[in-house]
Structure 1
Amino acid sequence: MKPHSLADLDAFLSVARHRNFRRAARDRGVSASTLSQAVRDLEEAIGIRLLHRTTRSVTPTEAGQRLIDSLSPAMDAVTQALDGLNDYRNSTFGTLRLNVPSIVARAILPDLLAPFLTSHPGIRLDVEDNNALVDIFAAGFDAGVRYEEALAQDMVAIPIGPRVQRYVLAASPAHIAQHGLPQHPTDLLSRPCLRHRFHDAGPLAWEFERQGEVLKLHPEGPLVSSNTPLLLRAALDGLGWIYTFEDLLADHFAAGTLVPALRDWSLSFSGPFLYYSSRRHVPGPLRALVDWLRRIS
């Protein structure tokens, strides 16, 4: 027996139910000749005539009626199964997996989570805090959050959180009392500094900017780590200067446990973006987040 397609079987059922090729074709939005060819292909594949055709009517043969009786429940089940996928396409129910940098998890998402999840009670967020530049789709995430320089050009990017952020240099009062305040970024080359690095790269250069002048420095110090809380604790303990997101240091500035320096050299940059593939069908929970972010922006 030759192989036959599900489309041919569906075409046969449609003609058999309408008892007319033209009415079935109008219902399916195709030509009558297309349906006629599909039925002929099916009959040729199985080697049995399924429909009696005259100029006035179309009726199933005995074999055709037996096939109708057997196929109809199965095809109805297939239709219901496909219709059921609409719940996933349009629904605001389900799990949304996000991969985000630690700064976003600590300083941006907390203010967004409660309003979003309260307005979408059927969504469950699964958030991974990861500073490495991983392939989020290969890792099974629906979307990620990254800064502009790390975004691929073929991604859809939606602003999330503050649109401007900046790095600020800081140290503890005890450290400043011992080593003094730097007057220029290059002073840091002779001061103990606490360096951050990504998991898949070396220590990041410290970039400063003032009135169009840009400096990139690689200061040395007692600690290099990819763990921001560890670097922050070291700064609070007086081990050196830290240069990181102002959002992470604001509470310590207010409490006086850290003191900012070289404010006029602080580097400003655009805030993060939620990104996802433009080549993918957008799941309902992700579409809900995207629409919500656009409404509040």
Structure 2
Amino acid sequence: MATDNLTHLAAFAAVARHRSFRKAGAELALSTSAVSYAIRALEERLGVGLFHRTTRSVALTEAGQRLLERLQPALGQVHDALEEMNHFRAAPAGLLRINATRAAVQTQLGPRLAKFLLAHPDVRLELAQDDGLVDIVAGGYDAGVRLHESVPEDMVAVPLGPALRGLIVGAPAYLAGREIPRHPRDLHHHECVRFRFASGHLYKWQFERDGQALEIDVPGRLTLGDQNTILQAVVDGLGLAYVLEDSARPYLDDGRLVAVLEDWSEPFAGFAVYYPRQRQMSSALRAFIDLLRG
């Protein structure tokens, strides 16, 4: 295959993943005009349009969708072949793209980024924060980081860090004069700050004690999509919230928040980094996982 054809196909796959010429250029370290030229050249060579373009959106045509479906396995093999060559290098190199939840970035990845990049100067890291359930293969990511229970079954999952615990927290000012909940069902009599995933799914609070599991669809006038924003809302006295203990710990230690229903808050499997089973792990991803596990 001619080098320019491979470059054009790589540009096509990147634009298809991102639905953006600019973002595809950032991934490929090319200018937006260079990506646009590559797509035009490929369309002229094939004699069909691959994208519908407007000033606000980029979408695949039917022909473009068919080409992407046929190309993905082959491009995956090319990616694996190039990554295999990295094993002959003295140090990991290349672009590493990770998709992780905000909570995972805050507690697991963020504190280690500087150490990783300083230890591996030939690696370029792109970290996307997304609380939804993302198809990392379609998105062009090398790996994802989610709670272990959310990892797709067809992925290889590597546990990261210890078990986690969710806590129900509230500000002392909110709880003053109100009856403290003793059972999860008591939450129906409280204002609760709820959490909605980017996918649109509204999280139902989960509890477990002595083998008894409960799931409560709590009431509340305020629904947010970011744990830090939820914590601030609770500190401001807007209600109770279900948050990760690690995220709430600074607020609990200085007295801005207190925990309730702790006897219903049992630990659960924490975060895991996961990657496609059929893809060979790159040296950069292996180094990243080694650092996180260490």
**If the TM-score is normalised by the length of the shorter chain, which range does it land in?**
0.5 to 0.7
The change in CA–CA distance for 1:262 and 1:175 in structure 2 (over 3 A counts) is: same
CA distance in 2, matches of 1:223, 1:241: 11
The change in CA–CA distance for 1:166 and 1:121 in structure 2 (over 3 A counts) is: same
Q: Which residue of 2 is the match for residue 201 of structure 1?
A: 200
Q: Does 1:120 align with 2:100?
A: no
Q: Percent identical across equivalent pairs?
A: 37
Following superposition of structure 1 onto structure 2, how do residues 56-67 of structure 1 map, counting pairs within 5 Å? none
The change in CA–CA distance for 1:274 and 1:84 in structure 2 (over 3 A counts) is: closer
Q: Which residue of 2 is the match for residue 102 of structure 1?
A: 102
Following superposition of structure 1 onto structure 2, how do residues 72-221 of structure 1 map, counting pairs within 5 Å? 86-87=85-86, 90=89, 91-160=91-160, 162-221=161-220
Structure 1 gap segments, 5+ residues each? 1-81
Q: Does 1:278 align with 2:247?
A: no
Q: Which residue of 1 is the match for residue 286 of structure 2?
A: 287
CA contact under 8 A between 2:196 and 2:202: conserved in structure 1?
yes
Alignment deviations for residues 171-204 of structure 1 (CA, whole Å, 9 cap, x no partner): 0010011423212211111110011111223321
The change in CA–CA distance for 1:85 and 1:281 in structure 2 (over 3 A counts) is: closer
DSSP-derived class of the 1:233 partner: helix
CA contact under 8 A between 1:147 and 1:270: conserved in structure 2?
yes
DSSP-derived class of the 1:281 partner: coil
Following superposition of structure 1 onto structure 2, how do residues 28-47 of structure 1 map, counting pairs within 5 Å? none
Query: Partner letter of residue 144 of structure 2?
Result: G
Calculate the aligned-residue CA RMSD, in Å: 2.2
Q: Structure 1-normalised TM-score? A: 0.66
Aligned residues: 213
Q: Which residue of 1 is the match for residue 256 of structure 2?
A: 257
Alignment deviations for residues 83-128 of structure 1 (CA, whole Å, 9 cap, x no partner): 9982477551222110001110111113332333333232232111
Q: Which residue of 1 is the match for residue 243 of structure 2?
A: 244
CA contact under 8 A between 1:223 and 1:231: conserved in structure 2?
no
Q: Which moved more, 1:197-206 or 1:93-102?
A: 197-206
CA distance in 1, matches of 2:201, 2:138: 24
The change in CA–CA distance for 1:87 and 1:216 in structure 2 (over 3 A counts) is: closer
Q: Which residue of 2 is the match for residue 37 of structure 1?
A: none
CA distance in 2, matches of 1:138, 1:126: 16
CA contact under 8 A between 1:173 and 1:257: conserved in structure 2?
yes
CA contact under 8 A between 2:112 and 2:292: conserved in structure 1?
no
Structure 2 gap segments, 5+ residues each? 1-80
The change in CA–CA distance for 1:265 and 1:278 in structure 2 (over 3 A counts) is: same
DSSP-derived class of the 1:204 partner: coil
